[in-house]
Amino acid sequence: MPEDLELERLQALENRVTELEAERDRLQGELDAVLNRATDRWLSAAQFESKALAAMQQTVSWRVTKPLRAVRSFQPGRLTGRRNG
Amino acid sequence: MPSSYDTLRPQPPSAQTTAALGRRLASAARVLIDADAVGQLSARGNGALADALARHIQRSKSDRQLWLFLVALTASFPDVDVFLEARRALGVSSPEFALSAVLESVQQSFHPLECLDYDLDIVVDVPVVDVDFCAKYNHNTGIQRVVRETLSRWNGAHELVLACWSAGDNGLRQLSTVERSRVVDWDAWKQTPESARPAEPPPGFRPRLVVPYGTIVLLPEVARDGYWSALSALARFSGNRVGMIGYDTIPIASADLIADGESEKFAKYLSIVKNADRIAAISASAAGEFRGFARAASAQGIPETEVVSVPLAVQTPARGSESAHRSAPIPRTGRPSSKLVLMVGNQEARKNNLAVLFAAESLWREGIDFRVRMIGGGKSAYTRFVDSEVKRLKSAGHGVELLRGASDDVLVDSYAEAYCTVFPSTHEGFGLPVAESLAMGVPSITTGYGSTLEIAVGGGCLTVDPRDDRQLIDALRTILTEPGVRERLAGEAEARPPRDWNDYAADLWRDLVEPLERDKR
């Protein structure tokens, strides 16, 4: 029967769409996982930098050399390392 | 090898930090993209949401949107370098790498991010006011008095969000209740004995970042170094309208009389001024200075900042917390019955303390009987000369009193006791001691140009050229030896039309905030 054939064809197409959608979602999930991992890594690095800097600033050597840095900040023409104004 | 030091190793971000990032990104996304899509994107994770935002901003090419995205991502107000780096990175990356371009540019900023656990409130409809110094410190001289007198009056009368800078100076944050009291309820705060003041920060205080977006940002203080680049970026890129109180340009225009390092810091502060939309200067004279700078900056193709003049109040200083307790006695020299010549203000070269001491000595040598009291502190680079002169004059038997760190009560009592005040500053933004003296009916000898002349034309003053010691001697002699002159000036001071802090606060709102509200982008 032509109608049965048509129904079968439609069913097959629907199945294919479902498969493709699932594949798309899987790939989107993989992409999201990559993006989420990258964001987590960045967050981890940003947090680590702040903690490492804070830890370094708590050391005795950092604290005893504070006056030297204060003097240095008054040196005329000292480079600040800034790139843009 | 024995391990002597704890080694820090990168750890995955805590659940708290990750969740806070998600909430910040979602808050920004609700403003930047279709709010209905935010829930779905959030469910896919922080990376997916950040990626959608980065791609959206890459398409929109909107500076203000990029500024908000960077704030949400880093829990930090970007400085100019970071912003430009991120904008350029977005400009050359393909859409699939838009997020990584932004993350990399932020990573290269080397700016410690100390607020990654913070949530944020995006403020779009009311002015945000940066009151950092007044919120955190009990110091209360010139600028702090202007800020507290103004904000205590605006509070309740207008909708405002007060903010100060967060840990690591990363961005503006909410105030604690204590910090708020220090700004809007100073009179009550200073009456509270130190032992009765609550702990800071209050237990459990978890501030949220305050992020102005498409609204007005007011800077009534002189932002300290460390904030200037983030505030410049805010003024340039965030789409907010920025209004400031302009006090003076003394560190640049009188750099020859300023302590080392101050001029360079102020020059950086001017980078906010040139990007601001509107300045309300505290006198016509100060307005002229800021207008001149705005014109100079317009050579860089920057729209010229609008400058108006809103003169400060001329009001009696308030008493302090000691009223309830006992003030320390004022150390007195000279005959107590002799006339008191009072000089109030920081001791520094431009205030001319040494010229006043010279004029006083000249008149003492003429046989005129009076005492001099100087109230105010300063940096040792100058105060050591004052100290040395005072010591010499005292040992010669002259009446000179030098009060450093004097309380508000001592200040008020000194004005009340004074025969006249003297304030021959070579450069002022306003001249608060002259205004206070006149508000208390005490005549003043002051500078005959600039902002102090603006005050003096209202009556009660003798004016001099502060660079001419002879004029100062003559004016002081006149007021001390001609009772009719002193009486006339005191009468003029009493008859001056009052201008109090209510007037100033109302005028400042009308001339600074309302025009910014009309021009909101």
CATH code reported for the domain at B120-313+508-518? 3.40.50
Whether B29 shows a pLDDT value over 90: the answer reads yes
| pLDDT score of B508 more than 60 | yes
Q: Give residue-wise pLDDT tens across range B37-68.
A: 899 999 999 999 999 999 999 999 999 999 99
What residues of chain B lie within 8 A of the CB of A80, using their CB? none
- The count of other CB atoms within 10 Å of the CB of residue B291 is 19
- Interface touch B261/A54, C-beta < 8 Å: no
B contacts of A31 (beta carbons < 8 Å): 48
What's the pTM?
0.86
Q: 10 Å Cβ neighbour count for B186?
A: 21
Q: What are the tokens at A40?
A: 């987590």
Report in angstroms the alpha-carbon separations of B170 from B114, B304, B317, B332, B503.
Answer: 7, 28, 35, 48, 35
The whole-number pLDDT of residue B315 equals 81
Which residues from B are below 8 Å from A34, CB to CB? 47
B51 interaction partners in chain A (CB closer than 8 Å): 35
ipTM (interface pTM): 0.77
- The set of long-range contacts for B192-195, using a CB threshold of 8 Å and a minimum separation of 24, is B192/B321, B193/B321
The phi, psi pair for B461, rounded to 5°, reads -130, 150
Residue in B with minimal Cα distance to A46: B113
Residue B119 has pLDDT above 90, yes or no: yes
What's the average model confidence in pLDDT over B282-293? 96
Indicate whether B330 pLDDT > 70.
no
Task: Provide the residue type at B441 as one letter.
Answer: G
Whole-number average pLDDT of chain B: 91
Interface of A with B (CB under 8 A): 28, 31-40, 42-55, 73-74, 82-85
Query: Does residue B326 surpass a pLDDT of 60?
Result: no
Alpha carbon distance B12, B26 (integer Å):
21
CB pairs under 8 A between A and B: 89
> Are residues A32 and B47, on separate chains, in Cβ contact within 8 Å?
yes
Provide, rounded to the nearest whole percent, the portion of chain B with pLDDT above 70.
Answer: 94
What does the pLDDT look like over B203-216, one tens digit per residue? 888 899 999 999 99
Inspect the interface and report whether the beta carbons of A39 and B50 lie closer than 8 Å: yes
Q: What 3-state class would DSSP assign to B273?
A: helix
Q: Which of B51, B80, B116 shows the shortest C-beta gap to A35? A: B51
B73's tokens: 């991502």
Q: List the one residue out of B82, B175, B79, B71 whose CA is nearest residue B115.
A: B71
The b-or-e profile of B158-169 (16+ CB within 10 A means b, else e) is eebbbbbbbebb
- Percentage, residues of chain B above pLDDT 90: 74
pLDDT at residue B59, rounded to an integer: 96
> What does the pLDDT profile of chain A (85 residues) look like in tens digits?
678 888 999 999 999 999 999 999 999 999 999 999 999 999 998 887 767 666 777 777 877 887 777 776 665 544 443 333 3
How much is the CA Rg of chain B, to the nearest whole Å?
Answer: 27
Nearest residue on chain A to B7, alpha-carbon basis: A52
Rounded-to-integer distance, Cα B313 and Cα B134, Å:
19
Span B295-311, pLDDT tens digits: 999 899 888 899 999 99
Cα nearest neighbour of A55 on chain B: B8
Residue B147: the pLDDT is 96
What is the pLDDT at residue B57? 97
Length of chain A: 85
Q: What is the pLDDT of residue A79?
A: 41
Min Cα separation A12/chain B (Å): 30
CB contact under 8 A, B106 and A74: no
**What pLDDT score was predicted for residue B331?**
60
**Cβ atoms of residues B112 and B201 within 8 Å:** no
Q: Where are the beta strands (DSSP E) in B296-385?
A: 306-309, 339-344, 370-375
Of A38, A50, A52, the CB nearest to B47: A38
Question: What per-residue confidence (pLDDT) applies to B380?
Answer: 87
Name the CATH superfamily, with its identifier, for domain B329-495. Glycogen Phosphorylase B; (3.40.50.2000)
Three-state SS at A75: coil
Residue in the block written with tokens 């994107």: B41
Main-chain dihedrals φ then ψ at residue B281, nearest 5 degrees: -80, 155
Residue B183 has pLDDT above 50, yes or no: yes
Smallest Cβ distance to B13: which of A34, A43, A73?
A43
The pLDDT confidence band at residue B498, using thresholds 50, 70 and 90, is confident
Residue B344 dihedral angles phi and psi, to the nearest 5°: -115, 140
Give pLDDT tens digits for B391-402.
999 999 999 999
B71 has a pLDDT exceeding 50: yes
Chain A hits for B103, CB-CB cut-off 8 Å, are 38-39, 42
Substitution target in B9, B83, B107, B300 with the highest count of A β-carbons within 10 Å is B107
CATH 3.40.50.2000 residue ranges of chain B are 329-495
Closest CA to B369 of B397, B396, B394, B335: B335
Q: Is residue B433 over pLDDT 70?
A: yes
- Count the helix, strand and coil residues of chain A and give each as a percent rounded to the nearest 5: 80, 0, 20
pLDDT band at B337 (very low <50, low <70, confident <90, very high): low
Note the pLDDT of residue B172. 96
Q: Are the beta carbons of A42 and B106 separated by less than 8 Å?
A: yes
Give the pLDDT band (50/70/90) at residue B316.
confident
Checking if the pLDDT of B421 tops 90, the result is yes
Facing A47 at nearest CB: one of B17, B80, B168: B17
- Lowest average pLDDT, out of B312-321, B363-372, B477-486, goes to B312-321
- Kindly report which listed range (A78-82, B59-63, B221-225, B249-253) carries the lowest average pLDDT score: A78-82
* Average pLDDT for B482-488: 96
Q: For A36, which of B11, B47, B106 is closest by C-beta distance?
A: B47
Most confident segment among A7-16, B357-366, B492-501: B357-366
Q: Is the pLDDT of residue B278 over 70?
A: yes
Give pLDDT, residue B225. Answer: 82
